[in-house]
């Protein structure tokens, strides 16, 4: 859910609080997102990318 401005945000929050099915749907989607993009494997891939860019920028391919 995206809300621009204080009024829209308040309306969106009240909608989620009053609609259990919507709250569950958002909760499930949020959990899936976190499990997919914020886990050890994803973190390791990002870290390897950082190391590879640093090596290529310094020209140290054998390090």
Question: How far apart are alpha carbons 29 and 31 in whole angstroms?
Answer: 5
Whether 42 and 36 have beta carbons less than 8 Å apart is answered as: yes
Domain enclosing residue 48, as ranges? 6-58
- Whether 1 has a pLDDT exceeding 90, the answer reads no
How far the first Cα of the chain sits from its last, in Å, is 45
Tokens representing residue 39 in the block: 């886990």
Q: Give Cα 51 distance to the centre of its chain.
A: 22
Q: What tokens appear for 15 in the block?
A: 């909608």
How many domains in the chain? 1
Asked if the structure places residue 49 within a domain, the reply is: yes
In a domain, 1, yes or no: no
Residue 63 lies in a domain: no
Residues 3-58 have pLDDT tens digits of: 899 999 999 999 999 999 999 999 999 999 999 999 999 999 999 999 999 999 88
Global pTM value: 0.60
């Amino acid at each position: 859910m995206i809300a621009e401005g204080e009024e829209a945000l308040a309306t969106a929050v009240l909608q989620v609080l009053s609609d259990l099915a919507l709250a569950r749907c958002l909760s499930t989607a949020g959990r899936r997102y976190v499990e997919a993009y914020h886990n050890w494997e994803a973190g390791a891939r990002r870290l390897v990318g950082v190391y590879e860019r640093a090596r290529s920028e310094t020209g140290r391919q054998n390090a």
